[in-house]
Amino acid sequence: PKLPTCAQESVILSVFEATEGAYNLENATASGELHFIGSTLQLRGTSPIIQPLVDSSGNILAYNGEVFGGIELSSYDNDTEVLLKSLEKAKALVPDILSKIKGPWAIIYWQESSRTLWFGKDAFGRRSLLVHWPTVEDPRFLLSSVSPASSVANGSGLDSENGDSIHRFWEELPCGVYSMSFGFSESGLCICGEVTKHEWRNNMWKELIEWERSLVVPRPEDLSMSSLSKIQEEKDNALSTSSGLAQTVLFVLKESVRRRTSLHSIFQGETEVVPVAVLFSGGLDSMILAALLDQCLDPKYEVDLLNVSFDGPNAPDRISAKAGIKELKMIAPLRRWKLVEIDADLPKLTFETKRVMSLINPADTYMDLNIGTALWLASRGDGWIHEESDNQEDSQRVRYKSDARLLLVGAGADEQCAGYGRHRTKYRNGSWTALDQEMKLDMQRIWKRNLGRDDRCIADNGKEARFPFLDEDVIKTLLDIPLWEITDLEQPSGKGDKKILRQVAKLLGLHEVAKMPKRAIQFGSRIARESNRKNFGSNRAANQASAGSVRFNAP
């Protein structure tokens, strides 16, 4: 298939046979090829890098990811080059090397000495990697960061139904490290590949994937202590167990943001550039990320706050974003914040909708399409800003396009801190244990439901999504905190849900946003309402049809 030219940090990962310029596998009677394709958004290193990389031993690496820790490299190194050297030295210990990496990644690696193809993605699936397993109809083995744009248009990317069975052409590759060794059939007429899934060699990953919280159900005295601490804090801001835990979360979150926004030598001397943007609703998660970014980023840089609306100035997210930037200016008056107002009219987005349908594939519900469209438009960064003037009433709205290549996204906060409405429902119906199990389920399926889709939609605009709430240390820290200190669902929305993050916001001086209720991007931007009117006639009809889970038909 012809792959789209989407710029992703490091690659469109792709392997398929029968394409010229490929790696050959052959004997006297059978032959095949592996073809590696890369498209690079380079953010690290001092020299241009062209992927896939090939070393002197004939190993081939296509890597889409970041090494934030686990493998030693300097601020001048390109992490893909360093990783290739580490893999070459490792020989048969490829899973050991990949298990060391802290950060998001997807990889395809051809190991020449063993004639083995290694592939996979990190334990939480923070980078996209799709797979097409060979079938009778299409016997190719394909790996790609994104499905071809033609997949949705011609049907090859959609499901084909045969009786009761449904076959998806593309699937999200489950998280983990895989290898495929090649050989020939006994007849010698066919090339055979055997796939093995390998265990993580780092116990940290096993513990985080299992996501077992030791302190789930509080004793009566635990709740009493928590209530007393809250009352004491409200009285005189005295340190308490709760605020101490919030301080710990604040520390690891700040370190996470720092790791993801350290500007390597590629940015040195470019004083005018806006290197980092925030996907910004003005809600709790994005406000925390913006405030922490201010503490981690050199004051000379501006920060773009990207906000999308399908109802002009009336969308809830636009209203909260304008209030949020005022609060940010109060705690960080020296920073130049740019609220980029991205306005959209859903009925006019014919080309864009088709594009997003391809990007979110294999996801195919209206909810996925709405979220994907909002993310795609926001990450494109093409909107309006208000030029500052001494007289606020005279400020002009002018066109602006964000060139930031790093985009901070709040994914993972709701899953880990009980931010969804279904968490409250589970708590009411089954108390603490049911809530814990629902949060565990959310974290164990976030790679399939959210992250692959989000990564593809953002990367298509030449941006790299970075998820500070899904840093390994942040996940571990939140998991070690008693569940009743993470959330208090006896309290109303906007107060007890995501309790620990509301305390973090207060520590940052963000007192107004600490009281805001949760609002998903599809509702806050009003794209869900517009989509319901367009596709179902009205919000009421959409609700009756459970529109969010309805699968759309490709144009």
Residue spans per domain, the chain:
8-19+27-152+166-201, 248-263+272-388+395-484+519-549
pLDDT confidence tier of residue 79, bands split at 50, 70 and 90: confident
Contact 343, 279 (CB under 8 A): no
Tell me how far the alpha carbon of residue 9 is from its chain's centroid: 13
pLDDT in tens, 165-208: 345 789 999 999 999 988 777 776 677 788 999 999 999 999 99
If one compares 554 and 399, the residue with the highest pLDDT of the two is 399
pLDDT, averaged across the chain = 85
Number of C-alpha atoms within 13 angstroms, CB side, residue 546?
A: 3
Is the model's pTM score more than 0.85?
A: yes
pLDDT confidence tier of residue 548, bands split at 50, 70 and 90: confident
- Residue 218: CB atoms within 10 Å: 16
Average pLDDT over residues 51-59: 91
Provide the pLDDT for residue 539. 81
What whole-number distance in Å separates Cα of residue 338 and Cα of residue 369? 27
φ/ψ of 96, rounded to 5, equals -65, -45
Closest-CA residue to 484 (of 444, 527, 432, 520): 432
What whole-number distance in Å separates Cα of residue 454 and Cα of residue 460? 10
Question: What CATH number should be reported for the domain whose range is 8-19+27-152+166-201?
Answer: 3.60.20.10
CA angle 178, 183, 189 (to 5 degrees): 135
Q: Residue 370: which residues within 8 A CB-CB, separation 6 or more?
A: 522, 527, 528, 531
Closest-CA residue to 94 (of 182, 167, 190, 198): 198
What whole-number distance in Å separates Cα of residue 359 and Cα of residue 353? 10
Average pLDDT over residues 229-244: 56
Cis bond before residue 347 (omega within 30° of 0): no
Task: Provide the token pair at 271.
Answer: 């004083």
What whole-number distance in Å separates Cα of residue 310 and Cα of residue 455? 22
What pairing do the DSSP bridges indicate for beta strands 176-184 and 191-198? Answer: antiparallel
If one compares 509 and 548, the residue with the highest pLDDT of the two is 509
Domain 248-263+272-388+395-484+519-549 adopts which CATH fold? Answer: Rossmann fold (3.40.50)
pLDDT in tens, 395-435: 789 999 999 999 999 999 999 999 999 999 999 998 999 99
Average pLDDT over residues 12-36: 55
pLDDT in tens, 375-394: 999 999 999 999 876 555 56
State whether residue 343 is helix, strand or coil.
Answer: strand
Q: Same fold for the domain at 8-19+27-152+166-201 and the one at 248-263+272-388+395-484+519-549? A: no
Provide the pLDDT for residue 226. 62
